[in-house]
Structure 1
């Protein structure tokens, strides 16, 4: 009996620490290394920092409309977040433009602004005050409202969708779905028409609210697969286990 208990402990610990698995039937799952020091890798044009924090009120208002858990956010909150992340916003905008011709500079700037300022909002809403695995445990115990990796991915996706980008395209991806490593979900944004691999990972989970971004193919930590492919694989695996057909 004791040996069975000990053999169960690793599984229990994995659940408490990991438990970041996104399933096709998860509610709200429709279409989370050190953070990249973007400013050291990208040469910013003159005036880029000022442009990074200059955004129409309608943009931050679309973020504020999504506030939950009794929180409210005003213009000053987003201005402070943008000021704090101005260099990173400018660098991310340039990274979107560097994806190739056809990316609208206004959309690139807006996407970068939304990515950083909305992450700042989610940090407050999720009550982030620890590393990602510790926070996962708190969420799974019911001590924090939200903040698993797929929560970050879904909320970032939903927020970016509200911008109705014409030259940028949102992807969703999952890593480690077929291995013993902890499964991880993220949102990816790239030039419209490009493959996911040629787009940018936007991952706030891995560094507990400090936005990581890079080209998908340059992400040294995770090997990303389109979420739709992963969901199809999971359905097929479930069908094998239950003996029911997978459609």
Structure 2
């Protein structure tokens, strides 16, 4: 009971507190993601969920800059595939985010790679899933910086109607 009240208090502070994010939509999205991360397990602290949410948004923006993202994802893929861009396919995003977050050593979270339509050249898609430590991948939150033009996509993996995800256990990120 006491921990629930404490979490609600921190949630209230989180929703009404100050932030350095200037885009109101992105600030709202960061808060929504942090709340979803907290909901993965009652042991996850407000501070860790908020830190992870910020790290995901910040790193996704860095990846956009690193890959010199151009327009929508499909146009950028075309430019990569014909050699005008070096990187920026969906697996570059999921791998980059995975590698970055693994280095940060979050105590309450684990990160996994997932794929949909694996092996289908035109339809294969890759993303990252965040789960509470020790939980099942399919109970996590899919995070997909590639999917939407300049918008970080995230949702509970079970609520993602666009893709049927499979855990990519053997795929390494190097």
For the criterion TM > 0.5, the same-fold answer is: yes
**CA distance in 2 between partners of 1:159 and 1:136 (Å):** 22
- Structure 1 residues 127, 50: closer, same or farther in 2, change over 3 A? farther
More strand by share: 2
1:67-216 aligned at under 5 Å gives the runs 79=20, 82-84=21-23, 85-177=26-118, 182-216=123-157
1:48 aligns with 2:48: no
Closer, same or farther in 2 for the Cα pair 1:195/1:117, shift >3 Å? Answer: same
Number of residue pairs the alignment of both structures matches: 160
Distance 1:140 1:50, change over 3 A: farther
Q: RCO higher in 1 or 2 (8 Å CA, sep ≥ 6)?
A: 1
Q: Offset at 1:209? A: 3.4
Q: Provide the aligned C-alpha RMSD in A.
A: 2.1
- Contact kept? 1:128, 1:135, Cα under 8 Å: yes
Q: 2:4 aligns to what?
A: none
List gaps (5 residues or longer) in structure 2: 1-9
Q: Is the 8 A contact 2:77 2:88 kept in 1?
A: yes
User: Any runs of at least 4 consecutive aligned residues in structure 1 with deviations exceeding 4 A, and if so which?
Assistant: 49-52, 178-181
Equivalent residues in 2 for 1:1-20, closer than 5 Å: none
Report Cα offsets for 1:10-64 as digits up to 9, x if no partner.
xxxxxxxxxxxxxxxxxxxxxxxxxxxxxxxxxx9433256573xxxxxxxxxxx
Could you tell me which residue of structure 1 aligns to residue 162 of structure 2?
221
Structure 1 residue 223 displacement after superposition: 0.6
TM-score (structure 2 length as normaliser): 0.83
Instruction: List gaps (5 residues or longer) in structure 1.
Output: 1-43, 54-78, 232-247
State how 1:222-237 maps to structure 2 within 5 Å: 222-228=163-169
Cα 1:51–1:158, aligned 2, differ >3 Å: closer, same or farther? farther
Aligned residues of 2:15 and 2:31 also touching (Cα < 8 A): yes
Scaled by the length of structure 1, the TM-score of the pair is 0.60
